[in-house]
Structure 1
């Protein structure tokens, strides 16, 4: 991803995330134990958390272009310099901007933006350009707020990286020298975008409820680069901060451009802030440098700081941020050093970039705040979040880099994480048993060892196989797949591909209400905004009355902002069965779909922490015990011979 390349613009402002919080709680998915008070706002599992009536809407609010960066290394921040500076960054016109949706209640750290359109317009609504942001999920979650999020409730920030497609340039774009340069520089009429959200408000006692801060950068897109992460080098924070329970400057992308003799570092997602709106009161003397010797290790409670002698690095320059508390909001936190000496450029070609600060306790030494990985290695999956039906296959794209260049013949090992234990009902889990993840292992098929081609790219085919309600009352299963290169820098761990594999379900051509009732009742429970203000999803007669609008919503493409369900968590066969019922509503009674699965699970309990082989055997026997009794699919013993 090329958002760090010139020309680029920076915008800042707020984002609205009107998420429904009833569905944040795994136990709320159990229809048998669901209580009406789970839809009430509150602070715990026995209610609907902070925003039970959320509609999953995402929107830009009070966002504006703050600064532009030009190919010659200069920046401009006055509207007198270019027409685009100061203009509003807004969402779609005449429809919801987009949706923000978790992957699953068991995978809430991968919130995705769906169907988001971005426009840059004048105050009169005149268009400069607009485009559609390709669906993308959170990456690189890290500590942001020095106050630990006391004011707003959420101290972490993250990054959304994607591309903007279907770009349309307004007539006013011809009046912007910046936009004309961007248009000729980018490829395939596509743009690169990176957005850093933080400072999200849970609290109802402030005018910022459901708002967060967002910093965005838009630059050119170049062919054959990944979509969901920057094709760049990375700085990793190594200094643990006990007061904040985390590490600041945890992950920062940076770009080295030898021809331009320039290095650009994006601290927009990692710079520590004093509050939820990005005020900077940090006073540390921070400097970028190139280490002459390899740097390893991370700080912790036991080893709070690593030091380096100034003779062992080449200083690039100091970060000029202390004079302006609004520095982050104005610059997006991107720091560029231009016209570097040839010796510095040469050193950057195969040596680690480091962020250092003069030590007060070790005179003459510098504390290392962040460092690049050993040997400058980065390996990442692009389409790292997947929703799969059984029998569906997808190619996961992996890229390997060394010192910012694609690395051929790099070996990458890929491993399914072990199963997590079930959580029985108890004081900390008062509603319903919660079932583990990464089980059964046979739900996914993939090659555990892949290598990059001469262009530094590898593909791994991932196939979803039939599973039968391993979590009983939640559709499908969540799988975490860890990958790494043999020489991975263990200080920074590994990365993951995360998959929601949906349950096997045989489409019913002429369903009655009992075939879909459990699904619809669950949606009614989890999305009270629908039942309270649109239609009661648990009432078949109400659904039949509103069937035309529901047929419209359920038949939308998954990337359509009007798609229903907003969680995208049902297989195509289940969605089609619901549509079949809506086309011909039949309200004859029929046993609840999932009750059989609950009985099977109860008859074959699995103790928390059970070994994988025992858990697999219990799972098979539970389903075999009720073979053929699940409405919607005709399972036979033959289906389990390969499990």
Structure 2
């Protein structure tokens, strides 16, 4: 269906279900420190999990509520057997969580995840999770410090779905009818435990599964975006962060996802009412007057786990024609209850920008070899509707990356249209541009390649009181060109590559010492097997997905040639 139509689908719709439980993230942290890549560095900075194996998993997740296609709901197994059933990972080996680069650790991706939803009483479906990076990382537990207070979210698609035959669950039957080929999944993570012990790497997860359309973005909702207000003081920060929303004109509802937007008292703890107070969703007109759509019920019992922070407005009724008309020209906002509106100096908790516009890249993380090209797809909406005929600007943006050293150079290694994309947005608000990779020339010495930030913007955007979205850029890792004089040998070409993995990922020592020729040769068939897998397979090696195609092909060729040792350095 054309995304301009009324049947736009996403997890912010019906049918949908919510789930809650625990996640496990167990990355190795030695590779987080740039200095650890230098073979002369000693001792290494271990970080919080030096023996991590990159495992990512869902633990004890259960369905907490289900909403049918007609908008009614089930909150118990007696109402629908899907409620209370597990959502688990069935990946074998386990899925992996992977940073793009030590100079860009804020777009960690989940690779190789396959999930099962349901149980014997309801029927169950299996599906593959499309690789995705997290977004909207922020200090959610604002009275704490360090990394444990952080929250983030993942949104992606479930593909290659295997449905149950004649499910006993009415919800699964509704979901299958609505979206048989593709589903949307969004989940929020917070409260990760970084203390050593059996729950190291555990944290809280809540999420939502709903229908999806093949011609819509997979990693964000084609709708509206509530943003935190710009703060007046230089060091002040908002107690809130970005929230997606969607106006369902067919059902006459506004659905807002506040799951990663509200602060908590402690990491993984209760939502912090002292920072929020009584708040309501409203539509603000051009004069700043507010039409209330209803209170946010975040203080209700089990609200967060049973809704994943997703709430429909208004509660118990539909939007009036006047409210629907107000949404066409007004801005959605989260306001203190009874405030009545927004003045020029107001700092509402959340509000759309003054142009009610959203510009987002669907996929925003890329790995490129010299000579590779990749297509980036952007979508522009205004008041939740596609905006056609608009020009999008592009620029190099190394300052967007959380880097410890110089990144984004040389610019010649990543080409794209500047200062604007030649084509304008189409009738679906969509425009594409191409990234073209070349050899960066090893600017970081001990780290292969270079990492780049590419910023995109709509010049006509009007921010108003709203903060700019810091996620409006694409991250790209471009590997160095790699050549060698044949034949490849252990000492001449292979050992410098594999020994770095042995140094940075000591968990591999229980299987193979990648820095030792004898150990590598003894495990040759196993190493070859995992290096030949599709990178989306959970068993692919290296798990960090940071080995260039040229180096991988050289190593596989070396194995095929009998793995000659060559001459050790004198």
Same fold (TM over 0.5): yes
The residue number in structure 2 matching 1:84 is: 82
Pair 126,537 (structure 1): closer, same or farther in 2 beyond 3 Å: farther
What is the correspondence of 1:270-281 to structure 2 with a 5 Å cutoff? Answer: 270-281=261-272
What is the correspondence of 1:616-627 to structure 2 with a 5 Å cutoff? Answer: none
Pair 467,258 (structure 1): closer, same or farther in 2 beyond 3 Å: same
- Asked if residue 21 in structure 1 is aligned to residue 13 in structure 2, the reply is no
Match of 1:525 among 474, 496, 503: 503
In the alignment, the residues of structure 2 paired with residue 84 and residue 246 of structure 1 have an alpha-carbon distance, to the nearest angstrom, of: 40
Pair 127,588 (structure 1): closer, same or farther in 2 beyond 3 Å: farther
Match of 2:559 among 572, 575, 582: 582
For the residue of structure 2 that corresponds to 1:15, the secondary structure is strand
In the alignment, the residues of structure 1 paired with residue 522 and residue 22 of structure 2 have an alpha-carbon distance, to the nearest angstrom, of: 39
In the alignment, the residues of structure 2 paired with residue 333 and residue 506 of structure 1 have an alpha-carbon distance, to the nearest angstrom, of: 51
In the alignment, the residues of structure 2 paired with residue 580 and residue 120 of structure 1 have an alpha-carbon distance, to the nearest angstrom, of: 41
The residue number in structure 2 matching 1:610 is: none
Pair 265,422 (structure 1): closer, same or farther in 2 beyond 3 Å: closer
Asked whether the equivalents of residues 104 and 401 of structure 2 are also in contact (C-alpha less than 8 Å), the reply is no
Q: What's the offset of the Cα at 1:435? A: 4.2
What are the superposed Cα offsets for residues 269-322 of structure 1, whole Å, 9 maximum, x if unpaired?
A: 11222233342351511101100126xxxxxxxxxxxxx6xxx11111111222
Asked whether the equivalents of residues 195 and 215 of structure 1 are also in contact (C-alpha less than 8 Å), the reply is yes
Match of 1:113 among 110, 113, 119: 110
The residue number in structure 2 matching 1:499 is: 476
Asked whether the equivalents of residues 356 and 367 of structure 1 are also in contact (C-alpha less than 8 Å), the reply is no
- Asked if residue 170 in structure 1 is aligned to residue 164 in structure 2, the reply is yes
Match of 2:100 among 86, 100, 103: 103
Match of 2:296 among 316, 319, 322: 319
- Asked if residue 398 in structure 1 is aligned to residue 368 in structure 2, the reply is no
Q: What's the offset of the Cα at 1:247? A: 2.3
Larger radius of gyration: 1
The residue number in structure 1 matching 2:417 is: 447
The residue number in structure 2 matching 1:128 is: 124
In the alignment, the residues of structure 1 paired with residue 330 and residue 65 of structure 2 have an alpha-carbon distance, to the nearest angstrom, of: 31
Match of 1:208 among 199, 219, 238: 199
Asked whether the equivalents of residues 122 and 169 of structure 2 are also in contact (C-alpha less than 8 Å), the reply is no
The residue number in structure 1 matching 2:38 is: 30
What are the superposed Cα offsets for residues 137-194 of structure 1, whole Å, 9 maximum, x if unpaired?
A: 01122232143257xx4212111111000111124x621111111111115x111111
Q: What's the offset of the Cα at 1:587? A: 1.1
Q: What's the offset of the Cα at 1:382? A: 1.2
Q: What's the offset of the Cα at 1:222? A: 1.2
Count of residues in correspondence between the two structures: 546
Pair 422,587 (structure 1): closer, same or farther in 2 beyond 3 Å: farther
In the alignment, the residues of structure 2 paired with residue 15 and residue 253 of structure 1 have an alpha-carbon distance, to the nearest angstrom, of: 23
In the alignment, the residues of structure 2 paired with residue 219 and residue 381 of structure 1 have an alpha-carbon distance, to the nearest angstrom, of: 21
Q: What's the offset of the Cα at 1:467? A: 2.1
Q: What's the offset of the Cα at 1:350? A: 2.1
Root mean square deviation, CA, Å: 2.7
Pair 476,208 (structure 1): closer, same or farther in 2 beyond 3 Å: same
- Asked if residue 460 in structure 1 is aligned to residue 451 in structure 2, the reply is no
Q: What's the offset of the Cα at 1:508? A: 6.5
In the alignment, the residues of structure 2 paired with residue 184 and residue 125 of structure 1 have an alpha-carbon distance, to the nearest angstrom, of: 20
What is the correspondence of 1:530-545 to structure 2 with a 5 Å cutoff? Answer: 530-531=508-509, 533-545=510-522
In the alignment, the residues of structure 2 paired with residue 83 and residue 551 of structure 1 have an alpha-carbon distance, to the nearest angstrom, of: 45
Pair 67,508 (structure 1): closer, same or farther in 2 beyond 3 Å: farther
Asked whether the equivalents of residues 359 and 367 of structure 1 are also in contact (C-alpha less than 8 Å), the reply is no
The residue number in structure 2 matching 1:158 is: 152
What is the correspondence of 1:622-633 to structure 2 with a 5 Å cutoff? Answer: none
Asked whether the equivalents of residues 245 and 256 of structure 2 are also in contact (C-alpha less than 8 Å), the reply is yes
The residue number in structure 1 matching 2:217 is: 226
In the alignment, the residues of structure 1 paired with residue 329 and residue 305 of structure 2 have an alpha-carbon distance, to the nearest angstrom, of: 33
In the alignment, the residues of structure 2 paired with residue 509 and residue 255 of structure 1 have an alpha-carbon distance, to the nearest angstrom, of: 58
Match of 2:190 among 187, 198, 206: 198
Asked whether the equivalents of residues 229 and 347 of structure 2 are also in contact (C-alpha less than 8 Å), the reply is no
In the alignment, the residues of structure 1 paired with residue 366 and residue 25 of structure 2 have an alpha-carbon distance, to the nearest angstrom, of: 22
Pair 410,73 (structure 1): closer, same or farther in 2 beyond 3 Å: same
Pair 414,202 (structure 1): closer, same or farther in 2 beyond 3 Å: same
What are the superposed Cα offsets for residues 482-505 of structure 1, whole Å, 9 maximum, x if unpaired?
A: 110012345314510110000111
The residue number in structure 2 matching 1:4 is: 12
Deviates more, 1:285-294 or 1:456-465: 285-294
The residue number in structure 2 matching 1:553 is: 530
For the residue of structure 1 that corresponds to 2:556, the secondary structure is helix
- The higher-RCO structure (CA 8 Å, 6+ apart) is 2
Match of 1:183 among 176, 184, 198: 176
Q: What's the offset of the Cα at 1:81? A: 1.1
Pair 180,125 (structure 1): closer, same or farther in 2 beyond 3 Å: closer
Pair 6,477 (structure 1): closer, same or farther in 2 beyond 3 Å: same
The residue number in structure 2 matching 1:148 is: 144
The residue number in structure 1 matching 2:5 is: none
What are the superposed Cα offsets for residues 385-435 of structure 1, whole Å, 9 maximum, x if unpaired?
A: 100000000111111111111111121101012589999xxxxxxxxxx64
Match of 1:372 among 322, 331, 352: 352
The residue number in structure 2 matching 1:472 is: 445
Asked whether the equivalents of residues 509 and 577 of structure 1 are also in contact (C-alpha less than 8 Å), the reply is no
Match of 1:382 among 362, 368, 389: 362
The residue number in structure 2 matching 1:412 is: 392
Q: What's the offset of the Cα at 1:97? A: 3.2
In the alignment, the residues of structure 2 paired with residue 181 and residue 509 of structure 1 have an alpha-carbon distance, to the nearest angstrom, of: 60
What is the correspondence of 1:281-300 to structure 2 with a 5 Å cutoff? Answer: 281-282=272-273, 284-293=277-286
Q: What's the offset of the Cα at 1:590? A: 5.7
Deviates more, 1:338-347 or 1:414-423: 414-423
The residue number in structure 2 matching 1:426 is: none
Pair 476,251 (structure 1): closer, same or farther in 2 beyond 3 Å: same
Pair 508,75 (structure 1): closer, same or farther in 2 beyond 3 Å: farther
Q: Structure 1 or 2: larger helix share? A: 1
In the alignment, the residues of structure 2 paired with residue 422 and residue 377 of structure 1 have an alpha-carbon distance, to the nearest angstrom, of: 27
